[in-house]
Structure 1
Amino acid sequence: MQIYFTFEPREDLRKPLVAEFPEVNFVFDVKLREEQLAKADIVFTYGEDLTAENIALANNLQWIFVASAGVEKIPAKAIAERGIFVSNVRGIHKKPMAESVLAHILALKRGLPFIYEQQKKGEWNKKTSLSELNGSTALVIGPGAIGAEIGRILQAFGVYTIGCNRSGQSVESMDETHMIADLHKHLPKADIVISMLPSTDETKYLLTYEHFESMKDTAIFMNFGRGNVVKETELVRALQNKLIGHAVLDVFEVEPLPNESELWKLDNVTISPHFSSHSSRYVERALEIFKPNLKKWVAGERNLENKIDLLRGY
């Protein structure tokens, strides 16, 4: 059995992996090479390097392990036609992303951008408005593993949490949960609205200008799921018209965000370059999911954690 990594993990992570599976031939590379892909039974990848053309060359390929929560960039049709098993690292991002979300919220509530700016100017200035996170209400759209972790931490700060998902079924760390179809009814309650939605046909452009009209004019809108949940033009218009207080964006319709985007020019936006999930422990945590699954695979089991339904996109 050959397992092909299309990137090269740190040596302190590679050595224990190889030692734990002596029966496996591991190949580590700095980028995808078709000659190695053609021999691989399993591919461990971030997903962005796979194309329909090179999937066609991978005659032995049975399992693709995607070291990313999103799988929208892999050639789903080509993979599904071959019946190749796909799984991902769903849940791996919950710790760093929850910390990123909390950091942005606290920064805005407690005036950190203002403080940093005054320090640069060398000015002792208290003329800004500060508020508290305690006692506020947060609405999480798409409260999966990451959203539940965000909810858990927010609750520790005395925040009331509302979740909106497809089913309306209760979710851990949400004080109440409703169907996304009823989102309009619950947006006016929220001081903070956090989108954690994946990119699917159902979620594309789900949020419209009318949704922002339903929010408080002091609300913080945060998109940490996928950029195409809302059209940039609609979001820009909402921000220009001050329908909400501030937006914190880690994801965008087009990435990197083009220089000509109107979002760069607005003073009520915080732009993060889609790295809220980054952490020095990222690959370590990915391997913590991969290794137990690999043990099952070697033993002939196919009931693996985080199996992906490519037709649904998650």
Structure 2
Amino acid sequence: MRIYFTFDPRPDLKEPLVKQFPHVEFIFHARLDEEELEKADVLVTYGEDLNDSRIEIAKNLKWIFVASAGIEKMPAKAIAERNILVSNVRGIHKTPMAESILAHILSLKRALPFIYENKRNKVWDKKAQLSELNGSTALIIGPGAIGSEIGRLLQAFEVYTIGCNRSGEDAPFMNETYRIDELESQLPKAHIVISMLPSTPETKHLIKLDHFKLMRDDAIFMNFGRGNVVKTDVLIQALEQKLIFHAVLDVFEEEPLPLSSKLWEIDNVTISPHFSSHSSRYVERSLEIFKPSLEKWLNGETDVENKMNILRGY
């Protein structure tokens, strides 16, 4: 059994892994090497280093473990045709991402950008618009593992949480849950609208200008799922027309966000470079999912944790 990592974990994470599985041959590289890929039985990757030709090269490959939640950049059709099993690390992002989202909300509510700017300029000014998170309503579009963790933290601030998902079935830490096709009826209620949707054919450009027109003019819109849930031009239009108070964006249709993008120039938007899930514990948590899955795999089981439908995208 040859397992090829296209990233190199820290020694304190790598060494226990190798010790736990002494009969497995582990190869660790800082980037993908096609000669090693050709010999690999299992590939551990962030996913962005794969394409159709590399799947063709990987003659022995039977399982791809993706150390990321999203797989939209992977060659799905080529992988499906080979019947290669794909699993990911869904769930490990919930702690850092929920903390990032909460930090952004509190920053805007308690005027931290205003405070930081005044400090830089040596200005003593109390004329800030301060508000409270307590008692507000948050609408979470896609209340999965991350969205539910956001809901848990928000409820500690006595925020009323509403979830929107495909089924309308109850989601953890949501006071109410509705189907995604009922989104329009819920938008006017929310002081905070958070999209955690993955990138699928159904979610692409789901949120349109009419949705922003239904939001409160003091609403905060946050996109921490995938950038193509809303067209960039639509976002710009909504912000320029002041249909909402502020947008916080961690994901974009094109990444890195081009220097020519008008979003850089708009005042009522916060731009985060798609790193809200980053943490010093990221690889540690990934391996906590990989190890029990590898135990199953070595015992001939294919029902590993977070097994995915590569063509559906989740």
The two structures have a TM-score, normalised by structure 2, of 1.00
Q: Which residue number corresponds to residue 146 of structure 1? A: 146
What is the alpha-carbon distance in structure 2 between the residues aligned to residue 124 and residue 68 of structure 1? 44
What is the alpha-carbon distance in structure 2 between the residues aligned to residue 218 and residue 264 of structure 1? 21
Specify the code of the residue in structure 2 equivalent to 1:267: D
Tell me the secondary structure at the aligned position of residue 9 of structure 1.
coil
Q: Which residue number corresponds to residue 193 of structure 1? A: 193
2:27 pairs with 1:30: no
Once the two structures are aligned, what percentage of the paired residues are identical?
69
1:169 shift after superposition: 0.4
**Structure 1 residues 227-257: Cα deviation after superposition (integer angstroms, max 9, x where no partner):** 0000000110010000000000000000000
What is the alpha-carbon distance in structure 2 between the residues aligned to residue 59 and residue 121 of structure 1? 60
1:311 shift after superposition: 1.6
Tell me the secondary structure at the aligned position of residue 38 of structure 1.
helix
Q: Which residue number corresponds to residue 281 of structure 2? A: 281
User: Unpaired segments of 5 or more residues in structure 2?
Assistant: none
Q: Which residue number corresponds to residue 235 of structure 1? A: 235
Show structure 1 runs of 4+ deviating over 6 A.
none
Q: Which residue number corresponds to residue 216 of structure 1? A: 216
Q: Which residue number corresponds to residue 310 of structure 1? A: 310
**Structure 1 residues 9-61: Cα deviation after superposition (integer angstroms, max 9, x where no partner):** 10111100000000100000011011100110000000000111011011110
What is the alpha-carbon distance in structure 2 between the residues aligned to residue 71 and residue 54 of structure 1? 16
Q: Where in structure 2 are the equivalents of 1:127-138 lying within 5 Å?
A: 127-138=127-138
Which moves more between the two structures, 122-131 or 217-226?
A: 122-131
2:168 pairs with 1:168: yes
Q: Which residue number corresponds to residue 100 of structure 1? A: 100
1:124 shift after superposition: 1.1
Specify the code of the residue in structure 2 equivalent to 1:91: G
2:296 pairs with 1:296: yes
What is the alpha-carbon distance in structure 1 between the residues aligned to residue 264 and residue 198 of structure 2? 24
Tell me the secondary structure at the aligned position of residue 39 of structure 2.
coil
1:123 shift after superposition: 1.2
User: Unpaired segments of 5 or more residues in structure 1?
Assistant: none
Q: Which residue number corresponds to residue 122 of structure 2? A: 122
Question: RMSD across aligned C-alpha pairs, in angstroms?
Answer: 0.4
**Structure 1 residues 52-74: Cα deviation after superposition (integer angstroms, max 9, x where no partner):** 10110111100000000000011
Specify the code of the residue in structure 2 equivalent to 1:54: R
**Structure 1 residues 208-235: Cα deviation after superposition (integer angstroms, max 9, x where no partner):** 0000000000000000000000000011
**Structure 1 residues 258-303: Cα deviation after superposition (integer angstroms, max 9, x where no partner):** 0111111110000000000000000000000000000010011111
What is the alpha-carbon distance in structure 2 between the residues aligned to residue 230 and residue 55 of structure 1? 31
Q: Where in structure 2 are the equivalents of 1:67-82 lying within 5 Å?
A: 67-82=67-82
What is the alpha-carbon distance in structure 1 between the residues aligned to residue 75 and residue 162 of structure 2? 35
What is the alpha-carbon distance in structure 1 between the residues aligned to residue 253 and residue 56 of structure 2? 29
1:310 shift after superposition: 1.2
What is the alpha-carbon distance in structure 1 between the residues aligned to residue 304 and residue 54 of structure 2? 25
Q: Aligned pair count? A: 314
**Structure 1 residues 91-130: Cα deviation after superposition (integer angstroms, max 9, x where no partner):** 0100000000000000000010000001001111101110
Q: Which residue number corresponds to residue 7 of structure 2? A: 7
Specify the code of the residue in structure 2 equivalent to 1:86: V
